[in-house]
Structure 1
Amino acid sequence: MLNPHPTRYAELNGVLHDLVTGAQEALGGSFVGAYLQGSFALGAGDLHSDCDFLVVVRERPDAEQEAALRELHHDLPHRDGHWNRHLEGSYAVADDLRTVDGLGREWLYADHGSDELIWSDHCNQPWAQWIMREHGITLVGPCPVDLVDPVPDDVLRDRARAGLATLTDDVLGWCPPSIAWCQRYLVVQACRSLYTVRTAQVASKRDALRWSMMHGDPRWRPLLQQVQADRDRGFDPADAPTSEAMDEARAFAAWVAAVA
């Protein structure tokens, strides 16, 4: 039975119902279950969040199933409403999802708000496995712990450290430094990576930011407070950061990489 109230947003619950029933129809017997991971699973989802999902499948979709899924995701973002444009997630092959041995294999992936599916390893990462197992919200299907084995601490820590080495270049390679949202995103991603290195767990953007304020070097507190206070500004291409704010973000990311 489909979970009728997986989030506190009635509209989003309706969009998830359409996503799941559409996926079930497209996949038939290959459908295993559907789940929320990401910020909503971590208890931090709000109107500024995307809604991260995983639909678990028995095997890679065949040509007919893939075509039906592409049609579903081409339609969803063009419907009236807010949340239909803020879905992000993948069709996870069950054997890949089970252990870290399957990390990095490509799944059909819907980028945030996109109406096209691509093959990507975006969601096939250790932090997604960890959130799915430890905090995943079941929309329909088996309990997440029956689908995902525990993620070893060293895998989480090593991936977080590796990502920090190129974090600034990676983020600003797709997110222009002329947009204030990108300055905030860089800071928050550094906080999340540091949290994972120190705890071998995964935190939401909000909670990682707060944790960094408490446990990080006090010199960065004004920057972290600025990022927290500006969250409600959302993504606005015309909203530019000050040069000082972007310089501080770059310096903070470099400091996190060094101490991690």
Structure 2
Amino acid sequence: MLNPHPTRYAELNGVLHDLVRGAQAALGDAFVGAYLQGSFALGAGDLHSDCDFVVVVRERPDAEQEAALRALHHDLPRRDGHWNRHLEGSYAVAADLRTTAGLGREWLFVDHGSDTPEWSEHCNQPWTRWILREHGITLVGPCPAELMDPVPAEVLREHARASLATITDDVLAWCPPRIAWCQRYLVVQAARSLYTVRTGEVASKRDALRWSMVHGEPRWRPLLQQVLADRDCGFDPHAEPRPGSMEAARAFAAHVASVA
């Protein structure tokens, strides 16, 4: 039975209903279950979030199934509404998902707001798996813990440390430093990675910022408070960072990489 109220947004619940029914029609018996991970699973989803989903499939979609899924995701963003343009997720192959041996394998992935799925390892990462297993919201299907083994804390820590080594270059390679949202994103990603290194778990953006205010050095609190306060600004490609804030973000990311 489909979960009728997986989030507090009625419109989003309707979009998720259409997503699940469309995926079931496209996949037939290959459909296993559908879930939310990401910010909504962590209890932090709001109007500035994307909605991260995972649909588990028995095997890699064949040509006919893939074509039907592509048609579904070509149609969804073109409908009227808000949340139909803010979905992001993957069609996870059950055998890949079962153990960490399947980490990094490509799944059919729909980027935030995209109408063209692509094959990508984007959702097949330790932190997305951890959120799915430990906090995932079931839309329909078995509990996520029945489909996957736990993600060891050291696997999470190892990947977080590795990402911190190049975090600034990686973020600014696709997110221009002239955009205020990118300044906030860099700080958030650094804070979340440090949280994972220290705890072996994954936190939402807000919780990672708040944790860093409490457990980090006091000199970074104004920066963290600025990023937390500015979250409600959302994404605006024309909004520039506050004076000096990008430099502070770079310094914070370098600091986190050095202490992690």
Distance 1:98 1:8 in 2: 30
Distance 2:117 2:87 in 1: 12
Partner of 1:254: 254
Partner of 2:194: 194
Q: Which amino acid aligns with 1:128?
A: T
Distance 2:243 2:103 in 1: 38
Partner of 1:5: 5
Distance 1:258 1:95 in 2: 37
Distance 1:93 1:152 in 2: 20
Q: Which amino acid aligns with 1:112?
A: H
Query: Would you identify which runs of 4 or more consecutive aligned residues in structure 1 move more than 6 Å?
Result: none
Matches within 5 A, 1:240-251: 240-251=240-251
SS at match of 2:244: helix
How big is each residue's C-alpha offset from its partner over 1:94-149, in whole Å with a ceiling of 9 and x where there is no partner?
A: 01111110000000000000000000000000111111110000000001110110
Partner of 1:52: 52
Q: Which amino acid aligns with 1:166?
A: T
Partner of 2:81: 81
**Unaligned 5+ residue runs, structure 1?**
none
Partner of 2:177: 177
Partner of 1:135: 135
SS at match of 1:230: helix
Partner of 1:228: 228
Matches within 5 A, 1:65-214: 65-214=65-214
Q: In the TM superposition, what is the alpha-carbon distance from 1:248 to its structure 2 partner?
A: 0.2
**Unaligned 5+ residue runs, structure 2?**
none
Q: Which amino acid aligns with 2:100?
A: V
Distance 1:208 1:41 in 2: 15
Give the structure-1-normalised TM-score.
0.99
Q: In the TM superposition, what is the alpha-carbon distance from 1:243 to its structure 2 partner?
A: 4.3
Distance 1:194 1:148 in 2: 25
- Mean alpha-carbon deviation: is it higher for 241-250 or for 78-87? 241-250
SS at match of 1:88: strand
How big is each residue's C-alpha offset from its partner over 1:17-50, in whole Å with a ceiling of 9 and x where there is no partner?
A: 0000000000000000000000000000000000
Distance 1:164 1:76 in 2: 35
Percent of residue pairs bearing the same amino acid type: 82
Distance 1:129 1:236 in 2: 30
SS at match of 2:59: coil
The RMSD of aligned alpha carbons is 0.5
Q: In the TM superposition, what is the alpha-carbon distance from 1:242 to its structure 2 partner?
A: 3.1
Partner of 2:16: 16
